[in-house]
Chain A
Amino acid sequence: MKSFQFIKHPILIMLLLIVTFSCDDELDKEPITEASASSVFDNPEAFKQFLAKIYTGISLSGQQGPAGDPDIAGIDEGFSNYLRQYWMHEELTTEEAALSWQDGTVHDLNDHLWNSSNEFVRAMYDRIYFQISLTNQFLRDATEERAMAVGLSAADVRAFRAEARFMRALSYWHALDMYGNIPFVTENDPVGSFFPEQKDRAFIFDFLVTELTEIQNELVAARQNQYGRADQAAAQMLLAKIYLNAEVYIGQPRYTEVITELNKIFSAGYTLHGNYEELFLADNNSNGAQNEVIFPIPFDGLNTQGFGGTTFIIKAPVGGRMDPAAFGISGGWAGVRTSKQFVANFSDITGATDQRAMFFTDGQTLEVTNKFDFSSGYAIGKFKNVTSTGVPGSDASGEFMDTDFPMFRLADAYLMYAEAVLRGGSGGSVSTALDFVNQIRTRAYGDQSGNITSGELTLDFILAERARELHFEAHRRTDLVRFNRFTQNSVWPWKGGTFEGTPSQPFRNLYPIPSTDIIANPNLVQNPGY
Chain B
Amino acid sequence: MQKVLVVDDEEVLRMLITDTLEDLENVEIHTAENGLEALARLSADHYDLMILDYMMPEMTGIEVLGQLSVDMKSTLPILMLTAKAQEVDRNRAIVAGARYFMPKPFSPIELLQIVEGILSDNG
A is bound by B: no
**Using a CB–CB distance below 8 Å, which chain B residues touch chain A?**
none
